[in-house]
Amino acid sequence: VVYGDEDCLYLDVVTPHVRYNSPVPVIVLIGAETLTGPSPGVLRPSARYSRSHDVVFVRPNFRLGAFGFLALDALTKDAYPRTSGNYALSDIIAALRWVQLNIAHFGGDPKRVT
């Protein structure tokens, strides 16, 4: 039996000055270093960089290690959507869906997400 609660699905949003009439491109930072080290990794975009390049940065947190990739029957039967242990990837997909639904509130353009 696996017990526990993971409250790890957060994301950071760094914006320039928000202008709803002219949304800016969005960069989602999912660095390779976060798959082996602590999430969210060493990439830390600043508000100054966001303003000078006129972009919105989004950096999602996601489950790592065994919590992110271990495939156990006890875990997979309770997961939605059904998965084979790639919980971290499911977390990233959830973050990308959130970006599409909400980034306009932060001045980002949901049609220009990288």
Q: Model confidence over 38-62: pLDDT tens digits? A: 555 555 667 888 888 899 999 898 8
pLDDT, tens digit (0-9, with 9 covering 90-100), for 78-98? 656 666 778 888 889 999 999
Name the token pair of 11: 């994301």
Question: Residue for token digits 């699905």?
Answer: 9
Against a cut of 0.85, is the pTM above it?
no
Q: Is residue 48 a contact partner of residue 15, using CB atoms and an 8 Å limit?
A: no
Q: Give the bridge partners for 56, in sequence order.
A: 26
pLDDT, tens digit (0-9, with 9 covering 90-100), for 25-35? 999 988 655 55
